[in-house]
Amino acid sequence: MNPESAVALVTGGATRVGKAISLALAARKAAVAIHYRSSDREAREVAELIIQSGGQVHCFQADLTDPAQIDSLVPSVIDQFGKLNVLINSASVYVQGGLETTTRADWEQNMTVHAWVPFRLSQMMIAALGDAPGKVININDTKLVKPNRFAYGVSKASLAAITRTLAAAVGPNVQVNQVALGAILPPSGLAEDRVAAIARTVPAQRWGHPDDVTSAIINLIESDYISAETIHIDGGSNGTLG
């Protein structure tokens, strides 16, 4: 698929890696639907950058734990742009919670945002596509076993299974892949010594850059023969996980 023919919905597309994805797609002349939950100012700022560069963009607010708002997102994008053929599932929650402290609410939030929402949005987009080509790209984590973020890890493992199963279900016109991220952007407020310590655990001995992620995503959009694949963008960390 030529990115210039894409209308791309990027969930969580206003901040961090999602912001980089939105801007990279717009730079390749895709029309971009920026989803956000509470980052209204950031979404408007990203949209303004795209508009200034001559791109097409619209922002869509939705709480991805609310079933009605989930189900309204794809139809709203199609109403705005006339179609939707690229879905980037980037929205995420990332909170502490181990074996003894994880609650049902924690579990349901993580499973909803990381598993149900990517599936449901994919389901709706694919139904709307008919026989037209499309792409689903899920943003995952290179490390899925996280005892201190129990629900997060399990829900991201579910996303990996959804990626492969969906790819098997939708061929040949729709390709479904995931990119699994390692150390790409330090969390805001993380102490410099901690940032440096994390870099030392990566075989590449450094943090990655959002451009590493966006180049892989553009490649997946342009390729019509890659599906059910995981691209690890983690400086080699996946090779040390056993």
**Average pLDDT along the chain:** 97
Helix-then-strand count for the chain, H and E: 8, 7
In this prediction, residue 84 has a pLDDT band, given cuts at 50, 70 and 90, of: very high
In this prediction, residue 239 has a pLDDT band, given cuts at 50, 70 and 90, of: confident
Domain that holds residue 152: 3-240
Query: What value does the mean pLDDT take over residues 70-84?
Result: 98
Instruction: Please check whether residue 227 is in contact with residue 173, taking contact to mean a CB–CB distance below 8 angstroms.
Output: no
Quote the tokens at residue 29: 């002349």
In this prediction, residue 242 has a pLDDT band, given cuts at 50, 70 and 90, of: low
Quote the tokens at residue 94: 């990332």
Give pLDDT tens digits for 38-48.
999 999 999 99
pLDDT of residue 29: 98
Query: What value does the mean pLDDT take over residues 73-88?
Result: 98
C-alpha to C-alpha distance for 155 and 110, rounded to whole angstroms: 6
Instruction: Please check whether residue 107 is in contact with residue 23, taking contact to mean a CB–CB distance below 8 angstroms.
Output: no
Give pLDDT tens digits for 87-139.
999 999 998 999 999 999 999 999 999 999 999 999 999 999 999 999 999 99
Report the number of distinct structural domains present in the chain: 1
Query: What value does the mean pLDDT take over residues 57-65?
Result: 98
pLDDT of residue 240: 81
| CATH code (residue 136) | 3.40.50.720
> What φ, ψ does residue 218 adopt, rounded to 5°?
-60, -40
pLDDT at 156 over 70: yes
Identify which of 157, 162, 160, 153 has the alpha carbon closest to the alpha carbon of residue 121: 162
Give pLDDT tens digits for 10-28.
999 999 999 999 999 999 9
Q: What is the pTM of this model?
A: 0.96
Quote the tokens at residue 122: 């994919």
Give pLDDT tens digits for 111-121.
999 999 999 99
